[in-house]
Every structure is written in C-alpha cells, then in structure tokens.
Amino acid sequence: MKNENQQIITIVVNSCDAYEDLWYPFFELFRINWPDCPYRIILNTETKTYNHPVPVGAGITCLQLYNQTSSPDWSSRLLETLKHVQTEFVICLLDDDFIVRPVSNEKLAKTIRLIKSINCLSMICFTSMFALGDGHQTILSSDLLKIPRISTCQYSSDGAIWKTNKLIKYLKQGESINEFEINSKKRRGIFDLCLMYKEGKSPIFIPHRINFGYGVSNGKWLWKNRELFEKYGIVVDLKKRGIISERCIATKMKEYRKGQLDKKRESLAKKARTIVEACKDALPERLHIFLKNIKHILMKKSKS
C-alpha cells in the first residue's frame, strides 16, 4: 500500500539554503501532525541536504542540483525539481507552511479522487488566501470554492495539490513565486478549473500566515510562532531572525491594500482618458454623418 501511495503523490517543499533554520520546525510539525504520511518528500533547495532526527513520510530527498555559484530563479528551480517527480500529482508546500492540526488522510483521499476525476481541474488550494479572492460556491463540495477569474492570483504554489503536468505547463522560467502567482492570471485557460478549500475545511490545515501569525514574513518570524513551538516542545532560536509583530503586519497590509487600490484607480482613470480621447476624435465625423442622415430624412418627408 505504501509503494502504491508513493506512485500517486510527491510532496515538494519549496525552500532555499538561506532558510535552513525553518526545516527542523517545519518537519517536526509535519511529523507530529501527519505521522502516517505515506508520500515521498523532496526538499527543493540549492546545495544543502537535510536529515530529520525522526523519519518523516517516506523519506526526505534533497536533490542538490546546484553549487554555490549557480542558483537559478525560483520557477526555474521548481521546474528542474519537477523533472524528478514521477507521480501524477504533486503537493506543493513552502518551508513555513506549518501544519498545525492533524492531517485527514480520508479527506485527502477524497481530494485526490476529485482532482483525478475532473479533466479540467488543475489545482486545489489548501488555504483560502486573500489574493485568491472570496471564491464562488461549487456543487462539487460544500467545503470547496471556485477561484474567481478576477482574483489577483489564479494559482498557488503555497499549500496546494496540483496535477504535475499542469504545474509544469503554467510555470515559466525567470519568475519569482509572487510573479508566477500574479502572472498566472494571463495563463489560465478558458475551461481551466481551480478550487480552494474554505477556511478550516482543508485535509491539510495550513493557517494563512498573515491571518494567523505563523511562519515567516520579510525574513522575520511572525508573532505566533513562539506560542506554537512551545506547545509542541520545538526549540528554535527566534532571535536570529527576529520577530515581526501583529501590529506591524496590519500596517503593512493596510499600505499594500491602499497601493492596490491606487493602482486600480489609476488604471481606470487611464482607460477613461483613452475613451474620452477616442470619442473626441470620432465625434466630428459621427456628428457629420448624423446630421447628413437627418437632412436626408427631412428632405424625403418634404417631398412626400
């Protein structure tokens, strides 16, 4: 059964050498909350290797595809890693996607059956990210939402199960993780279906870092990590990275949303100016045609 499971899914944990201090808490939380994980894990980093003190899943592999002087961009690294994935599906996680509740293998099996049964379904996201929008209810499951096409991001590489061939198709060399998720809006096919779980309904519960305060932001630990690590007896020196407060994140989010709103307003204003200019140029000619038609109608009436 274990070998059979290994042929279905590979778990890819996207990281980099500079974040190796996250690997121990990540895999310890993974081991505690998913002790019977039957899948192979690839730690996607550049040059380093990692061995957890206790076995995790079907084993952790570090491919070590690069040296100190040759480290490509995020999407190129992921594409290269996916060449070593032989399974139909891949679960993509980030190194700070801390699993904080027991994983439901039964619910995950249902998720796999669903994504396998629908040809146009490319991805199911485990987190209800704000960038993916509010979502629309789907008849497929009361726990799932359709990701709207107007969302800032259409795809997620942060806590999601993908059809491996679809992820390879939509990745483009030269992009960062943020560029991939934002630019994915242009690549999503007309019939391409993407879903996300409602908050708290996912088989693998990964609390979104900004909402819950777990993980890392701008290279610093978020405010809830200390409490989380103490709960599970995980020893991490948080002083090395420092801790960013909830208040600081709230200020940054406010600035981000204001920036997004300003961009939207500027875009609408630009479109309005273009329309006005086009109307200005077209008005004399259209007015001439309109008056000519009126004259023709009046002359016709006067003759009758």
Q: How confident is the prediction for the chain on average, in pLDDT?
A: 85
Of 9-13, 15-19, 84-88, 293-297, where does mean pLDDT reach its minimum? 293-297
What pLDDT does 17 receive? 94
Collapsing DSSP to helix, strand or coil, 297 comes out as: helix
Q: What is the C-alpha separation between 208 and 153, in angstroms, rounded?
A: 15
Q: Are 86 and 8 a contacting pair, CB within 8 Å? A: no
Q: What is the pLDDT of residue 132?
A: 47
In single-letter form, the type of residue at position 114 comes to L
Q: What are phi and psi of 241, to 5 degrees?
A: -95, -30
Min mean pLDDT across 3-7, 25-29, 35-39, 248-252 is at 3-7
d(CA 118, CA 234): 40
Per-residue buried b or exposed e for 251-269, using 16+ beta carbons within 10 Å of the residue's own CB: eeeeeeeeeeeeeeeeeee
Of 77, 258, 252, the residue nearest 180 (C-alpha): 77
Q: How many CB atoms lie within 10 A of CB 92?
A: 25
Name the least confident of 8-22, 54-68, 142-156. 142-156
Residue 270 has pLDDT above 90, yes or no: no
pLDDT grade for 298, boundaries at 50, 70 and 90: low
pLDDT at 177 over 80: yes
**CB of 34 closer than 8 Å to CB of 17:** no
Reported as a single tens digit per residue, the pLDDT across 186-240 is 777 777 888 888 888 899 988 866 778 899 988 999 999 999 999 999 999 999 9
Strands 220-222 and 216-217: antiparallel
Where does the pLDDT of residue 281 fall: very low under 50, low under 70, confident under 90, or very high at 90 and above?
low
User: What is the rounded distance in angstroms from the CA atom of residue 92 to the CA atom of residue 86?
Assistant: 15
Residue 287, classed as helix, strand or coil, is: helix
Angle between helices 177-187 and 74-82 (to 10 degrees): 70
pLDDT value at position 6? 64
pTM of the model: 0.81
